[in-house]
Chain A
Amino acid sequence: MKISLEWLKEYIDLKGKEPEEISSKLSLSGTEVSEIIYPWDYIDNVVVGKIIQIDDHPDAERMVVCKVDVGIGIIQIVTADTSVEEGDVIPTILPGGSINDVKMKKKKLRGVESNGMFISLAEFGLEDESSGVYRYEEEFPIGVDAKVTLGISDAVLDIEVTANRGDCLSILGISRELSAIYDKKVEMKIPGVEWGKKDEFSIKIEDGGCYRYTALILENVQIKDSPIWLKRRLIASGLRPINNVVDITNYVLLLTGHPIHAFDLSLLNSNEIVVRHAKKGEKMILLDESEIDLTEEDLLITNGKEPVALAGIMGGLNSGIKDDTRTVLLEVACFDPIRVRKTCRRLGISSDSSYRFERGVDTANNEEVMSLLVSLMNELSGAVPRSILYDEGKPKDVVEVHLRKWFVDQILGIVVPIAEIERILKSLGFEIKEKGDGWDVIAPSYRFDIDQEIDLVEEIGRIYGYDKVPNELPRILPQANGEPKEFKDSFKIRRMMNAHSYNEIVTYGFMNPEIIKVIQPQYNEQISVLNPLSNELSVMRPSLIYGVLDSVAYNFKRQNRDVKLFEIGHTFNKIGSRYNETEKLCFATTGKINEYDYSDKRNENFYSIKGVIEDIFKYLSLEPEYVNSNKGFLEGRSSADIIISDEEVGYFGLFDEEITKDKYNLKNCEIYIAELNLGRLLNKKKPKVIKPEISQFPRVFRDFSLLMNKNLTFEKLKQEILSCNIKELSDISVIDIYKGKGISEGYYSLTIRFTFESMKKTLTEKAINKNMERIQNAITGLDVQLRE
């Protein structure tokens, strides 16, 4: 909301206070000032000038040449307004001044020098069209700032009010805040007004959504332009002046925060106002000419038959003020904030009126608001009250809260003087009565955020100033729990992935369901968002591969051919009617195994990604099985599932190259991808005590080249050898693999290194040879030959 300081100053003494200081005080007491604006700063260096001499223009009949006293000297101005007279006092832009970024320079108009410019009201925005330059009717000293004389030199504060402080959405509301901050009184007089006579009119409230409805009929209304003082205040507040009646309703709204509606009584076509909820299927046309469909939640102002306004939001087109309106029905009402909000949200409309009703409007000031309205209407349009003040419904009950002095100090952590507490509460409009260990406090009718003691502590704190509260570290008892094991472990897994050169990514938790249909067509437990931003972000991810693949594609399309990415995050699925979340790790790579070693030309492959997985399992002290995978989105012959005690805990391999090409538009891109169910793995992780068993006696290596049948697995071979139970055999590792020349069809060569060591003695050649013999015997049953 825009708050004009010029207007504020009518109600509170702000002498000597700069706008910056006022803004900072307001912000630090809870009313945020987001900007300080000068609405008329597009006109600069304009003073009161007086014409002391007028001469004809030698070359132009439609211009005259004026000598103008501008206080600091006499300047010459050529003007096209030939109606000016000697002695006229006019707002004048000095040389060097500007309007709308156009600088006033010395120039010649038809050969005669002109050094400034006279200003019209239209140029100040205070008139739609001006017939000529503005001539002051009042006396002002020559040479003073013309903006001061027109009341438009002051700053305007753009304030943001929190949802609970609807009472601050007005000049009066901000005056009350400043009154508490600066310890000054709000000076506001409500004019005494006489109402008219009772006539045939009636008001009926048929829905509890209307708390109170106050109305009055005015006659002899004359629609015309508003005076400058009123226009400038509306403009400063960001509203456009329309005509005196509409302007006055807006003016009083801005002043008091209470929305007002004006009907043309002759267009109402009835003698009653009925407030009710809409009927099913009912429609109406609003002031802005839009037709809306109504529901039973909507609150309507009707003439007994049809709607004439959408309560608290906008008037209807049929009953608004026209240029020939003579009789006006003024409405000052109070509506349920939630009802107004629901209707506004559903219809996607908002108005100055609904904005305030949504945040709460005083239910006790209707009569005062009406008095202000009637007095202004009378002054500016000649209108007089024809009717009495109709008043249905009643103000809300007052809220009374007991405030304990020690409680204030205990929450704030500082002793606030009793006199300060009393001063602050009183200046904010609270009624206080000393009682027991504190006070009984009655909240003013315009405050909707006070219903318990703590709310009063906040009032005291924010005005007293939180800068006065010291810093005192609490004595927090140490928490034995620290951080959960899984949380810590998943951080360690991140570090491991970093060590393997993978970069961590973060993606959204929701995704496009279309791609699931392509990659996991059999998947049907997905969870949808009821109100997604778009279809692309409408289902919760069942797997992390989608986000990871998108990111690989994003990088690949930006000429990055060597990519290593991983993500750790939640995935979602439904088990019956329950939602289940699982933490997973997904990583993907394409291109070189080691981008930063230019001697290493190898590309990522099944074994390079498997190595990363094995390293993770070593860290977790788990020994999984790797079995054939039949995931549709992996290439069957370059992938595997990972099994631990008959449970699948992950998979990895080459991502389907067709999908890479067709769905991700990546050409020549081999993506190896893996996903592990981290939640399950971290649960299974064995807390193993690692006891280093390092022999003091020398180790002996024996390398063994074997010709293996392709159908025989290394795992099988290993199991056969391990079944010999050779105590001194401490490790079996693969040191080379060879396919190609010299190897018969259906076979490949595998070189295995056996490590023998004993904790007790140096192993003799004889003992080792005996063990090697046992190994050879163990594998004779397999289709494998010793190579020379």
Chain B
Amino acid sequence: MKIPISIKDVEKEIENISNLNDLQLLKSKYLGKSGKITSLFKEMRNLSNEEKKEFGKSLNVLKNDVEELIDREKNRIEEENRNMKNRNFRDDETLPGYYTQMGSMHLITQTMEEIKNVWMNMGFEVVTGNEIEETYYNFDALNTPESHPARDEHDTFYIDEKNLLRTHTSPIQARVMEKRTPPLAIFSPGKCYRKDTPDPTHLPVFHQFEVLYVDKFVTVANLKACLSTFIKKILGEDRRIRLRPSFFPFTEPSFEVDVSCGICGGKGCRSCGNSGWLEILGSGMVHPNVFKSAGYDPNVWTGFAVGTGIERIVMLKYKLDDLRDLVRNDERFLQTFRRINL
């Protein structure tokens, strides 16, 4: 018996089909329960064994071919449908995307936060205070008597006879010492005021942090180690420090602390004035008179204090050449220092 259907007939029919529905109809027309090919298989039982064998073989080939043809066509139509559906193709992969931009934290805040974390990790607690401060806590309690030049109207903004705009954050420490007993390890950040006309290296309003550690047997060696840790964490592990004896009324001995120049590594270059060192902060061992003001026995307690302007560190770290940029608040400047890793 000859197979009355050829693959060519199916191919012809498929050419006119453009959707999955029609394809499904075509599939049942040939391969469905009562489809043409299915029916032919049913007719096989009337054939002799020999005929059955040959007919069956050809019919199977046909069936496989049709199945394959329909599958291929199905994939083609599906692919076409997908393409029809996705009308939202990009026009140009180089056009920018839409986004919401993170804002920036001010360089002063970022730096203060970094510095705070270093000291907190060494065991210091944060204490804050007011910007309008009593003259007593700003000066007298810190061994700076009335005759001292720092108390002059040329250097300090006064509010009235008893109050001023704090010139450093040390009054916070004086207040803490008055209220609490040692040991103490405090970090006090904040805004401070000094009577400087704004120029590239001075602002009348600036930010400071100060550190105070009071305990038994605190030494210059302890101070050096804390300073060195602080500098390395903030400015880089390759930086070194040196203590240069200086004078502050509330510490004795007092030190200016220099950090090795980040550009020349200490060899001397233009940006460090050929010295290889840059002045970064003031520090010293707490003066016994300060302990006496606080009611601590200077024969029992010793300690160190560290303090500097955040602006100075910002200037060194980010190589700014005009501090006034920090208070102009140009968004372009602010966004330059956008960080999200805080």
Query: Which residues of A pack against B, CB within 8 Å?
Result: 27-30, 32, 162-165, 337-338, 341, 345, 358, 410-414, 449, 452, 454-455, 457-458, 461-462, 466-467, 469-474, 476-484, 487, 491, 494-495, 497-510, 527-533, 537, 540, 551, 554-555, 558, 560, 563-566, 569-570, 572, 579, 581, 594-600
Q: Are A508 and B225 in contact (CB under 8 A)?
A: no
Give the nearest-CB partner of A481 in chain B.
B125
27 A-B contacts (beta carbon < 8 Å): A27-B244, A413-B221, A414-B219, A414-B221, A458-B252, A469-B224, A469-B243, A471-B221, A471-B228, A472-B225, A473-B226, A476-B183, A479-B125, A482-B125, A484-B127, A487-B128, A494-B109, A500-B103, A501-B100, A503-B334, A510-B205, A537-B204, A560-B332, A572-B132, A597-B99, A597-B100, A598-B96
Q: Are B195 and A469 in contact (CB under 8 A)?
A: no
B109 partner residues in chain A, CB cutoff 8 A: 491, 494, 504, 506
Chain B residue total in the interface (Cβ 8 A): 84
Q: Are A529 and B165 in contact (CB under 8 A)?
A: yes
Least CB distance from B152 to A in Å reads 6
Q: Are B221 and A597 in contact (CB under 8 A)?
A: no
Least CB distance from B119 to A in Å reads 10
Alpha-carbon distance A564/B186, docked complex (angstroms): 35
Asked if B42 CB lies within 8 Å of chain A CBs, one says no
Query: Which residues of B pack against A, CB within 8 Å?
Result: 96, 98-106, 108-109, 113, 116, 120, 122-128, 130-132, 147, 149, 152-154, 157-160, 163, 165, 183, 185-186, 191, 193, 195, 197, 204-205, 207, 213, 215, 217-222, 224-226, 228-229, 242-247, 252-256, 285, 287-288, 302, 326-332, 334-335, 342
Alpha-carbon distance A140/B302, docked complex (angstroms): 62
A345-B154, A482-B120, A563-B331 are contacts. A476–B213 as well, Cβ < 8 Å?
yes
Least CB distance from A486 to B in Å reads 8
Chain B facing A: main interface SS: mixed
B302 partner residues in chain A, CB cutoff 8 A: 410-411
Alpha-carbon distance A377/B287, docked complex (angstroms): 46
B331 partner residues in chain A, CB cutoff 8 A: 503, 555, 560, 563, 565
Residue among B101, B152, B288 facing the most chain A CB atoms (10 A cut-off): B101
Q: Are B131 and A509 in contact (CB under 8 A)?
A: yes
Give the nearest-CB partner of B196 in chain A.
A533
A454-B287, A499-B103, A506-B108 are contacts. A569–B191 as well, Cβ < 8 Å?
yes
B243 partner residues in chain A, CB cutoff 8 A: 466, 469
Give the nearest-CB partner of B161 in chain A.
A530
Give the nearest-CB partner of A552 in chain B.
B329
Q: Are B224 and A471 in contact (CB under 8 A)?
A: yes
Alpha-carbon distance A500/B225, docked complex (angstroms): 41
B255 partner residues in chain A, CB cutoff 8 A: 466
**B103 CB contact (under 8 Å) in A474, A502, A506, A581:** A502
Q: Are A470 and B224 in contact (CB under 8 A)?
A: yes
Q: Are A555 and B205 in contact (CB under 8 A)?
A: no
Alpha-carbon distance A476/B125, docked complex (angstroms): 11
> Which 4 residue pairs across A and B have the least CB separation, nearest first?
A413-B219, A413-B221, A30-B245, A476-B123
A600 partner residues in chain B, CB cutoff 8 A: 98
Alpha-carbon distance A480/B330, docked complex (angstroms): 40
Q: Are A532 and B157 in contact (CB under 8 A)?
A: yes
Give the nearest-CB partner of A164 in chain B.
B247
Q: Are B222 and A473 in contact (CB under 8 A)?
A: yes
Give the nearest-CB partner of A23 in chain B.
B275
Q: Are A474 and B213 in contact (CB under 8 A)?
A: yes
Least CB distance from A166 to B in Å reads 11
A to B contact number (C-beta, < 8 Å): 246
Give the nearest-CB partner of A160 in chain B.
B246
Q: Are B228 and A28 in contact (CB under 8 A)?
A: no
Q: Are B220 and A579 in contact (CB under 8 A)?
A: no
A410-B219, A503-B335, A555-B331 are contacts. A478–B224 as well, Cβ < 8 Å?
no
Q: Are B158 and A579 in contact (CB under 8 A)?
A: no
Alpha-carbon distance A410/B217, docked complex (angstroms): 7
B226 partner residues in chain A, CB cutoff 8 A: 473-474
Apart from the given pairs A505-B334, A510-B205, 20 other A-B contacts in the complex at a CB distance below 8 Å: A27-B244, A30-B246, A32-B244, A338-B147, A341-B147, A358-B149, A458-B253, A461-B245, A466-B243, A476-B185, A479-B185, A481-B126, A491-B109, A494-B105, A504-B104, A505-B106, A528-B159, A529-B158, A558-B330, A596-B100
Q: Are A509 and B253 in contact (CB under 8 A)?
A: no
A500 partner residues in chain B, CB cutoff 8 A: 103
B165 partner residues in chain A, CB cutoff 8 A: 509-510, 529
Least CB distance from B255 to A in Å reads 7
Q: Are B103 and A497 in contact (CB under 8 A)?
A: yes
Alpha-carbon distance A412/B255, docked complex (angstroms): 13
Alpha-carbon distance A414/B218, docked complex (angstroms): 12
Least CB distance from B112 to A in Å reads 10
**A565 CB contact (under 8 Å) in B125, B127, B158, B329:** B329
A529-B157, A572-B132 are contacts. A483–B329 as well, Cβ < 8 Å?
no
A503-B104, A531-B158, A596-B100 are contacts. A165–B335 as well, Cβ < 8 Å?
no
A494 partner residues in chain B, CB cutoff 8 A: 105, 109
Q: Are B102 and A533 in contact (CB under 8 A)?
A: no
Q: Are B219 and A28 in contact (CB under 8 A)?
A: no
**B197 CB contact (under 8 Å) in A29, A528, A533:** A533
Alpha-carbon distance A527/B102, docked complex (angstroms): 36
Alpha-carbon distance A358/B148, docked complex (angstroms): 11
Q: Are A509 and B220 in contact (CB under 8 A)?
A: no
B220 partner residues in chain A, CB cutoff 8 A: 411-414, 461, 466, 469
B193 partner residues in chain A, CB cutoff 8 A: 509-510
Q: Are A554 and B131 in contact (CB under 8 A)?
A: no
B98 partner residues in chain A, CB cutoff 8 A: 596-600
Give the nearest-CB partner of B134 in chain A.
A579
Q: Are A531 and B195 in contact (CB under 8 A)?
A: yes
